Amino acid sequence: MSRCVLLVALVLCARAAVAADVQSAPAESADMKCIFNGKDLTGWDGDPNLWSVKDGVIHGETTPDKVASGNTFLIWKDGVTKDFELRLAFRSSAANNSGIQYRSKHITDGKLRNQWVVRGYQHEIRNEVNLPSVSGFIYDEGGKRGRICLVGEKATWGADGKKTVTDTLIDADGYKSLFKLDDWNQVVIIAKGPRIQHYLNGRLVLDFTDLDPQLALREGILALQLHAGKPFWVEFKDIRIKALE
């Protein structure tokens, strides 16, 4: 075998190995529950000046005339997230950011900027493709830990309060190819016990285990975010969920 042929064979083998390491989202089961009716916000609660239903999708928008007084949320009122699988699609503008809150808490006490304040785990949403500030990382909304786990990381937050990254799930070029700018993107979030997995457009992009004895979250509400600041819009559709045993 010539050296050139050998090098080509080695490259092909390496690509095959990388492809084999890519983890796809599990097939959707038939028992997922749809929690948005496509008509109105029945079962949800948020600022009516900022949240609406347009063309069959949830539409959240801030404008120069309609601003968010602090980060504000559309809260699902008909259930909680504990061990669960969540599937939905989103798209957004690039001026600001949004998120999907889960295992979170609706804050009603204290000095608050609005009545829809939520704190807890957040699946970040951004219309951007350059790591690390992209859709999919876990942010500790209203908490102490900031960006808990970044896109591409397989990581554990230990009982000692330190994060250890053990693997890389996707690189910068891979994410640019995966994310659909200015278009609908599909999200799957699976949380069971301390382990949380985020899938984007069918591919695993984050795998996080939270073992912090004080800060790890095991149960709480589901909500959708509008971030304060620059005018921005975000849309969600096909929202379905199921509890995991």
Q: What is the CATH number of domain 25-243?
A: 2.60.120.560
What is the per-residue pLDDT for 22? 79
Q: How far apart are the first and last CA of the chain?
A: 54
pTM, entire model: 0.91
Asked if the model's pLDDT at residue 123 lies above 50, the reply is yes
Q: How far apart are CA 157 and CA 165, in angstroms?
A: 9
* pLDDT at res. 21: 57
What residue type is assigned to position 150 of the chain? L
Predicted confidence (pLDDT) per residue in 43-82, tens digit: 999 999 999 999 999 999 999 999 999 999 999 999 999 9
Rounded to an integer, the average pLDDT of 118-134 is 98
Rg from Cα positions in the chain: 19
Peptide bond into 132 cis (omega under 30): yes
The chain-wide mean pLDDT, for the chain, equals: 93
- Which tens digit of pLDDT belongs to each residue from 162-185? 999 999 999 999 999 999 999 999
With cut-offs at 50, 70 and 90, classify the pLDDT of residue 6: very low
Domain spans of the chain, in order of start? 25-243
